[in-house]
Amino acid sequence: MRFDIMTLFPELVDRVLGESIIGRAQKSGAIEVNTYNIRDYSEGVHRRVDDTPYGGGMGMLMAAPPIYNCYRAVLERQIADGFDGRRRVIYLSPTGKILDQKKAEELASSFDNLILLCGHYEGVDRRIVDEIVDEEISVGDYVLTGGEIPACILVDCVARLADGVLSAAECHENESISSGLLEYPQYTRPVEFHGARVPDVLLSGDHKKIDAWRREAALELTARLRPDLLPREDGSDGEENKKK
């Protein structure tokens, strides 16, 4: 899968996504991540990318022309690379729908390329959103200084679902949220730590009993911490009920 990220701070994005599993996935060729500095596509001597908003107000707004020029450069690079996959342009924005695991799975299965636009300052000129963006996504109901961290979150969330990024499908299918429940508690050596022991069933070697314990533990943990994830008697989940 390919990710093309338009940002004012490519070094930030490169540093975050160049580490750990996502960094190794890039080196192995399982995914491709390219960053583009929007400022490089600004016209004029001073390379300005922002201006005051019409109508007044505090802060600066990212202008449409540099972003559009950057977007065209992304497409031109894709053509030069011979890439012709299914693409989607996403603007990381607090006005977008909240990112969840279902959305990550949808993006991973439906598209070969995500082009991500990172806003900054007070956001971007609405006309560029209307012209090139397919979807707006938010990582939560809070305000950040820019779209770079949300873009990294989105890439991490989607990329780990791509073939070859994790060692096996079970690595993400049985995790919290992905399975529909929070993940059961897990333990490693030593058997006893500060007076607390690993549950005996996990030391028994009886995999049938272990699976049953893990299922019950996951249900108990979900009921206590995230009851909204539990299915209702009518077959709907808690989140759907909350929205009715």
Residue 242: predicted pLDDT: 45
What's the predicted TM-score (pTM) here? 0.89
Residue 45: predicted pLDDT: 82
Q: Do 174-243 and 2-159 fall under one CATH topology?
A: no
Contacts 24+ apart (CB under 8 A), 104-110: 104/154, 104/157, 104/158, 104/161, 105/161, 107/158, 108/1, 108/158, 108/161, 108/162, 109/161, 110/86
What is the rounded CA–CA span in Å between residue 93 and residue 109? 22
Residue 10: predicted pLDDT: 98
- Give 10-residue mean pLDDT values along the chain (244 residues): 98 98 98 98 91 93 98 98 98 96 97 98 96 98 95 98 85 67 95 98 98 97 95 60 43
Residue 244: predicted pLDDT: 39
CATH class of domain segment(s) 2-159: alpha beta
In the chain, what are the domain boundaries?
2-159, 174-243
Residue 22: predicted pLDDT: 98
Question: What is the token pair recorded at 71?
Answer: 């977007």
CATH fold for domain 174-243 = Trp Operon Repressor; Chain A (1.10.1270)
